[in-house]
Amino acid sequence: MASPKILITGASGYVGGTVLSQFLTSSVTEIQRASLSVLVRKQEQVEKYASQGVTACLLAGLEDTTAVRQLASQFDIIVHNADSTNPAAAEALIYGLSDGAQKRGSGTKPCLIHLSGVSSLGDLTASKPRSVISHEFSDKRDDIYSYMKWRESVRPYSQRTTDLAVIDAGEKANVKTYIIKAPRIYGRGTGLYNKKSVHIPLFINGAILAGRPEYIGDGSGIWDDVHIIDLAVFYELLLGKILKNETVPTGHKPFFFVQSIRHSWRELAEGIAAAGVKNGALKTTETQSIGLSEAASKYLGGDADLTEISCASNSITKADLAHEMGWRSQKTEEDFQKSLLDDFNAAVSI
């Protein structure tokens, strides 16, 4: 693919901004030669990205799927980090890529790299308590697509709905799709705007208000964790292979897990407590269990279903395909604990 045109959505966000930074400083020749553009909502962002040598495409939002599709048709590859719960927007991006490829008569398939998460695989630990570790999903061994199809038929969930829409639309439109299912992400981002993760600052702010960190139920649900830089490095590795026309290993469908260490929600609360005491924002390392409805009211606007699946579920994955591609996490448990203190320092300095 000669001088490919790449569009990055969500570049002002935590993951998208860090991924863009990784691409801009990449040592991969094919990435250096690519034309990078970002999708933005504000005029001042256009000028900011221009100073980095990045073209910014101004669009009111992803809701205008006609405009999204038209914009997507101008690109060869889209790295979609903007919204993992909007199937219509993802489909518009895919069909736009297909439109452009057909118009240009390109013999190379366009590609979409889509950011998702592992909550769509999560089982329930609060409404259905359990103390054992459930299935560890492998992106190489397990048929993630069929499993999610079955889960979706039982109970739809927007993130899972979008994943399935991406795969189905890609096959229909002859567009290669790759879905990165990230776990809990930690660490300071390197983008121009949002540098904070989601889960950990949410619980740190809750701990400051309550005087101690909280977890839901018995806190036994376990999630993997990955540092934002390690995640961005995998994006770089995957994009580099695509641009070099190298074979990218996939399982039954192109899902990729990127995990490093793992913690239960209770262990996360205990880490937050230790960091809070060290920072001085908390007076005790004690943690506290709260009920699902109380947690939903405090943290996610009263949505108990979303709270349970995203803040109390059990979702364990194994990054077999990433490892096969040569990716290895460079961050450790020590880095994770340091990041908790860094997030506390950021929270109390606001």
**Average pLDDT of the residues in 272-284:** 96
pLDDT given for residue 29 in this prediction: 96
Query: 313: pLDDT confidence band, cut at 50, 70 and 90?
Result: very high
Collapsed DSSP state (helix, strand, coil) of residue 167 = helix
Query: 259: pLDDT confidence band, cut at 50, 70 and 90?
Result: very high
**Average pLDDT of the residues in 199-211:** 94
Helix, strand, coil content of the chain in percent (nearest 5): 45, 20, 35
CB 177 within 8 A of CB 94: yes
**Cα distance between residue 215 and residue 264, in whole Å:** 10
pLDDT given for residue 90 in this prediction: 98
Query: 348: pLDDT confidence band, cut at 50, 70 and 90?
Result: confident
5-196+224-259: in CATH 3.40.50.720: yes
What would the DSSP string read from start to end of 127-161?
A: SS---S---EEETTTS-HHHHHHHHHHHS--HHHH
Contacts of 324 (CB under 8 A, 6+ apart): 140, 249
Nearest to 76 by CA among 24, 17, 33: 33
In the chain, domain spans = 5-196+224-259
Token pair, residue 220, equals 């036994």
User: Taking 70 as the threshold, does the pLDDT of residue 125 lie above it?
Assistant: no
Nearest to 94 by CA among 11, 163, 14: 163
**Average pLDDT of the residues in 153-175:** 95
pLDDT given for residue 128 in this prediction: 62
pLDDT given for residue 4 in this prediction: 93
Backbone angles phi, psi at 6, to 5 degrees: -120, 130
**Average pLDDT of the residues in 297-309:** 92
| Angle, alpha carbons 203-19-247 (nearest 5°) | 120
**Cα distance between residue 12 and residue 297, in whole Å:** 28
**Cα distance between residue 200 and residue 206, in whole Å:** 10
pLDDT given for residue 1 in this prediction: 47
What pTM was estimated for this model as a whole?
0.95
Write the single-letter amino acid at 74. Answer: Q
Average pLDDT, the chain: 93
Place of tokens 């540092």: 227
Predicted confidence (pLDDT) per residue in 15-61, tens digit: 999 999 999 999 999 999 999 999 999 998 999 999 888 999 999 88
Place of tokens 């790449």: 6
Query: 252: pLDDT confidence band, cut at 50, 70 and 90?
Result: confident
Predicted confidence (pLDDT) per residue in 48-106, tens digit: 999 888 999 999 889 999 999 999 999 999 999 999 999 999 999 999 999 999 998 86
Query: 127: pLDDT confidence band, cut at 50, 70 and 90?
Result: low
pLDDT given for residue 105 in this prediction: 83
**Other C-beta atoms lying within 10 Å of the C-beta of residue 44:** 7
User: Taking 90 as the threshold, does the pLDDT of residue 303 lie above it?
Assistant: yes
Nearest to 77 by CA among 9, 12, 28, 162: 9
Nearest to 233 by CA among 7, 11, 19, 3: 19
User: Taking 50 as the threshold, does the pLDDT of residue 131 lie above it?
Assistant: no
**Cα distance between residue 241 and residue 205, in whole Å:** 40
Token pair, residue 283, equals 């007076």
**Which CA distances in Å does 206 have to 122, 235, 290?**
23, 32, 12
Nearest to 137 by CA among 6, 314, 16, 10: 314
